[in-house]
């Protein structure tokens, strides 16, 4: 069944997270037809976000109360018309990010060591561990960058999380995707970017470890290898915290 951008496809696990119920409960609702679903060629159940929202509305009406909603919850719901590239499983990726509980948490030395090492091994003046919500790229750790977050629309990392390996921009001023980006035309005047996706236990790319420079450049093979290894360490640390 084709993906509809305004109505993302969810797994049963993702539906359970939105509904605030156990996966087994969501599976029962799906199998009983309470949540309309279909099976993939591999035999896995899939549902639409609209179907899950309908069940939530029914639950709220029956209870005559609204459940508590965190102020940040909309950041983990896909944008209807994003001005940045997204994969078909963006809804699941955002749920996976939410489950880590890392967004808007204080700095931690375990992540700060990794960005420092990334900066050192690539001789880059800037290094970031970036987490991508639907609205922001928020920096869990940063070296050489003053701001703690930017609009998601500006994020080079939106492209990096779509890659299996490293995403490199050797000269942002020559790349039509980035040459008018406020981070390129203004502070910190990014010209070079290289980043690896950071993944949770299910393989969802929730952010990146990246290095940046104010000059066009390339990375040598050993620098790419070092950045890959540091990204793997950051992913392993994130995976230890995932509640899904």
* 4 closest CA partner among 84, 90, 83: 90
E strands, 19-63, are 38-39, 45-48
Q: What is the mean pLDDT of the chain?
A: 88
Average pLDDT over residues 99-110: 93
Structural domain boundaries in the chain: 1-68, 109-239
What is the distance between the alpha carbons of residues 229 and 232, in angstroms, rounded to a whole number?
5
Burial class of 224 by CB neighbour count within 10 A (0 to 12, 13 to 18, 19+)? middle
Grade residue 73 by pLDDT with cuts at 50, 70 and 90: low
Per-residue model confidence (pLDDT) at position 5: 56
- Looking at the DSSP bridge assignments, the partners of residue 128 are 142, 210
Q: The domain 109-239: what is its CATH number?
A: 3.30.450.40
Looking at the predicted structure, is the pLDDT value of residue 57 above 90?
Answer: no
- Report the phi/psi class of residue 33: left, alpha or beta, with left for phi > 0 and alpha for psi in -120 to 50: left
What CATH number has the domain spanning 1-68? 1.10.1660.10
**pTM attached to this predicted model:** 0.70
pLDDT at 71: 38
Mind listing the pLDDT tens digit for each residue in 147-158?
999 999 999 999
Per cent of the chain over pLDDT 70 is 90
- Please tell me the distance from the alpha carbon of residue 57 to that of residue 76, in angstroms, as a whole number: 18
Decide if pLDDT at 136 tops 50.
Answer: yes
Cis geometry, peptide bond prior to residue 222 (ω within 30 degrees of 0): no
d(CA 239, CA 138): 18
Main-chain phi, psi angles of 194, to 5 degrees:
-145, 125
């Amino acid at each position: 069944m084709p993906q509809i951008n305004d109505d993302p496809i969810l797994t049963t696990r993702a539906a359970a997270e939105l509904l605030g119920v156990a996966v087994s409960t969501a599976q029962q609702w799906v199998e009983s037809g309470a949540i309309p679903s279909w099976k993939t060629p591999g035999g896995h159940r899939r549902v639409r976000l609209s179907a899950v929202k309908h069940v939530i509305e029914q639950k709220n009406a029956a209870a005559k109360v609204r459940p508590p909603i965190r102020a940040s919850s909309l950041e983990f719901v896909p944008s209807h018309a994003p001005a940045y590239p997204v994969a078909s499983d963006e809804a699941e990726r955002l749920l996976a990010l939410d489950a880590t509980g890392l967004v808007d948490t204080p700095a931690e030395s375990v992540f700060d060591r990794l960005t420092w090492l990334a900066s050192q091994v690539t001789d880059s003046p800037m290094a970031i561990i970036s987490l991508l919500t639907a609205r922001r790229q928020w920096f869990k750790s940063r070296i050489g960058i003053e701001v703690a977050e930017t609009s998601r629309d500006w994020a080079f990392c939106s492209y990096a999380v779509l890659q299996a390996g490293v995403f490199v921009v050797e000269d942002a001023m020559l790349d039509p995707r980035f040459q008018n980006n406020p981070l390129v035309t203004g502070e910190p005047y990014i010209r070079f970017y290289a980043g690896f996706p950071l993944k949770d236990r299910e393989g969802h790319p929730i952010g990146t470890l990246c290095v940046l420079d104010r000059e066009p450049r390339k990375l040598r093979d050993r620098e790419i290898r070092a950045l890959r290894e540091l990204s793997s360490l950051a992913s392993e640390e994130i995976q230890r915290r995932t509640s899904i």
